[in-house]
Amino acid sequence: MLELVKIEVQRVKCYSPLGIFIGWANEYEFNDLRARIAESGAEGYSIEFNGERIPITPVGKIDNWPQGLFDFNEIAISRMFKVQIAKWKKENAEKEIAIQQAKNKIGIKTDECDCSEYPAIHQGPGKPLICSNCNQEL
């Protein structure tokens, strides 16, 4: 069984346009601040992250998003997507093979096909044409 990993909620220091510390913000509070900055067009707000002052633009953007800043969720979700996509690709490849095997069973065997009797399939630029009956390269 997997054990639950405790993850500390990240917080950053937030500063007003005059450089006055206005408090610590977690990801929700930070995004709320960014939204309110965007809504009001306020200039000069910033946060402190890894000892660096990072400005929030009047539309609520961070121009050069630093690595490690509120990116835990994104990284965790992409780890999960990576597994899901690999699984989906594997299942699709297995389906393709099964379809091909079924076609070979009911259709004309590759070595018996007169490919000139069937339309050719374009697989895309730089790829060979294949016979629509036996899937052999032409």
Distance (Å) of CA 129 to CA 16, 69, 113, 137 = 64, 49, 15, 6
- Should residue 133 be labelled a site residue for Zn ion when binding is judged by CB under 5 A? yes
Closer to Zn ion by Cβ: residue 38 or 113: 113
Closer to Zn ion by Cβ: residue 47 or 131: 131
- Should residue 56 be labelled a site residue for Zn ion when binding is judged by CB under 5 A? no
Q: How far is the CB of 133 from Zn ion (least distance, A)?
A: 5
Site for Zn ion in 58-117 (CB under 5 A): 113, 115
Q: How far is the CB of 102 from Zn ion (least distance, A)?
A: 16
Out of 12, 33, 37, 134, point to the residue binding Zn ion (CB under 5 A): 134
Binding site for Zn ion (CB under 5 A): 113, 115, 131, 133-134
